[in-house]
Structures are given as C-alpha cells and as structure tokens.
Amino acid sequence: MIQLYTFNDNWRLLYNREKHMVSAALKGYKISSIEHIGATSVVLCNTSGTIDVLVSIPSILDLFTIKNALSKVSGYECVEHKSNNHLLFFVRRNERKQIVATIRIVEYASAEYNKILSFKYYLKQRNSNVIRYNQFRQALAEHYQNDYRGYQKAKESYIQSILEEYCKY
C-alpha cells in the first residue's frame, strides 16, 4: 500500500548518511556534485520516506566507471532505466524489501540534471506549490493504493506537465 508521510527533519539526517556512504564510495572519482532531491528535500512536502540522492558527473563518459564504484556501496543495487541511457539509477531496500534510498547519476548541467533540480526549485519557490503537489500525491495514493507503477507513472506525468509550464521545456 502506498503511504505518504508528513515532512520530518530526520530526512536531512538520513540524507547526510547516504551522502557520506556515496562520497566514500566515489572518493578519487570526478564528481560535480552530490545533492539531496525528491520530496524529502523540500520542507512541508509529503513523502513516501525515500531519500533521493543526485550525483552529477562531469561527463557521461564516466557513467560506467561510476556505476562500478557505486555497485560496491553497501545495500545498493543498480536498476536498469530503459527510458534513459543518460541516467544510472540505484536503490537501497530495507529488510522488508521497501526502497529506502535512491541514487540517480547524471551528467552535470544535462537536460536530465536540469529537469530534476528544476522541479525541486519549483516546489521550494512557494508553499502553495507544495500544498498542490501534496494534494495531488494523496489523491494518487488513494487511487493507486497497491499499484506503485501506476502511481509513479501518473506522478511523473504530473511533474512533466509542471516542468513544461514552469521551465518552458
């Protein structure tokens, strides 16, 4: 069942733990930035509780070198992202197999990088943006109760429509 939780200051602490693990695994590699993204990075935003990390790299050519390094991070598994060859996606699950953290690896300043951060900044711009997003996600969670893929697909469509308006993509 899809559950959403109210914002919690612990999200920042959990992000810092994930960032530390990722930083340690990538020590010595060229990294542009490591950033907290997703709902847990936005005050007042309801969330499933998954800590989302964005790792940006200087060149897409470094993608598979980074993939090998991150494959050694405790508990993370690489998940194929069929719709985007310029993105690596890792997940870490708890003992109940629920996703508790994700890592997205993209090229710095790429369209994917800009898209991810633009939505975060859109939410942070006004509390009313967060409130609308919370209401939308709650309605989705109720509609797709046990269909996580359907929930994700509908959420991604909503985000894309916001970005098309907000950023004029």
Which domains, ranges and CATH numbers included, belong to the chain?
10-166 (3.30.460.10)
How far is 143 from 140, CA to CA, in rounded Å? 5
Q: Rounded to two decimals, what is the model's pTM? A: 0.92
98 and 152 in contact (C-beta within 8 Å)?
no
DSSP-assigned letter for residue 20: H
Distance (Å) of CA 75 to CA 1, 66, 103, 131: 23, 16, 12, 33
53 and 19 in contact (C-beta within 8 Å)?
yes
pLDDT in tens, the chain (169 residues): 899 999 999 999 999 999 999 999 999 999 999 999 999 999 999 999 999 999 999 998 888 888 888 887 778 999 876 666 667 899 999 999 989 999 999 999 999 999 999 999 999 999 999 999 999 999 999 999 999 999 999 999 999 999 998 876 4
In 9-142, DSSP assigns E strands to 33-37, 51-57, 76-79, 87-93, 99-107
